Structure 1
């Protein structure tokens, strides 16, 4: 509790009790290296939803969940009988259209000869040419239908768009799948590189920007040293990562901004959906460090007892930007050269006089 204890101090003097001998430290600017920890979630650099492009029954599943696949490798097969029938129909239509176009071409040639011999009129020739153009257009439409049918047959074999790991497969053999379905066949994650997303509060981000100045975000990130990833078992991931992106704005609800760090994953240790902690080392110059043991915490606020020139103590609130080892980094409440009681302050009250001793 913060109390005005003038009466207590006067009572102490009246009783003639000797001042307590307490260790005192003098706070001076120093250099500090701080490791800040942020919770993160991991995602493959490429996360692809694998979806069907045609409707039909799922006849084959070539891979299992969690399998590593290569780009172009078959994953699923959809019943293609309907599409093969459509191809046959389209081919029949094309052949008929081609025959009609050939007949129209012959008619144009014959009519040209008749016009040259003045047996037929130019009107008949123009009519024949128009019929040929129409027949040619029908052939082109039929060719497009054939090509479309072949494309649909190709879509029945679903291949991996990228190399990566297969996620959960919620469908079973015989399931009816469709391009309009809400659930993808699976999620394919390319995890050769893995992104770790984490959030930083406003105060931390301001300090972060001060540590790594630049005219824009790209320049700032160029000066940020490599970061570490702590795995869920507490161990450190062997490879260092690089912060590669910062979101454009703060989240109004949380007051934080999201950053992205990218880690190489050549040994495939990391997977999409993993969690971890990002460790960022920052160097601070000319900061005030105060041992955590020399402070007390009251209702989530930090306090310490300072000693004035008359050796009287006063409890003061402190502001801190974080911890480094066993010290707080003090950003408010103390000035360089301030004297602070380092131990034995549990029964001190404002206004008491002490006898300072060098801290051991």
Structure 2
């Protein structure tokens, strides 16, 4: 097994063993605290361009199967684990994590102290890193890292390029794909929705021509300010069509309504983040994956209301519009992986649509 190393931009070095692809790669190094669900994490488009560190010590023990993917192909740049299982054991397993990463040309690094790496990131904040062979001098890798531009087009890389339909007989939903997880689509089709998936830059006029009952703004990677087309679209549709935003979609709704977003020190990534609903006082566990958040103070001069907060750091987890039928959450109610405590939000979205339609009929016949 080839010895390889990770060099962080602050000069910190971790030496371990390679698996998966043996190519060199750079990217933002982040960590996820989930104990299970590595297949869903690896295939989550929100990790586009990142090197993902999994803090649970043993990864790959139940293999890779055909059913737990969140997208067709993974978009992570690399994977870091303490130990991976070469011989998975599970009746659903089709292949090992090593063969899966090789097939998708994604390098992995094992045998390092992932707890130490996580502590470095928590203390210094998220940093970029470079995975390469141990023979290459650190100064060479640091220079390459410094000369590698920070990507700003992740959403463009992974969004669908053409609209497509997932038919159903229920509510007509336009799903704007900023890096959609299949779990969101599963929850809508489970409720018999007729879903039209459109690209991230689909204009408002074209969306309105589809005559949707509601609009879903999905998760996705990167900084929300790098998707100005979506912000402009949301501003045009929010007065007339019920909206539900998730993760990046939540941040874009906030920006469209006059709030601001900010980069977090190391983000929230895992399946055990407690969130409190300020309207009913209930607390539940959520699945999260984001490096940016809505600035809480910036909500004050907008028509947005804070509805939910993270109990770990009091960051914004939910908002709704005072006037228009629009709300959003920072976490993933579809889980995949993670707890299903907040799955009810999809039903609330459909109820919001029904109430909006009923209100419009009352105004017509008044």
TM-score (norm 2): 0.19
- Point out the structure with max Rg over C-alpha: 1
As a proportion of its length, which structure holds more strand? 1
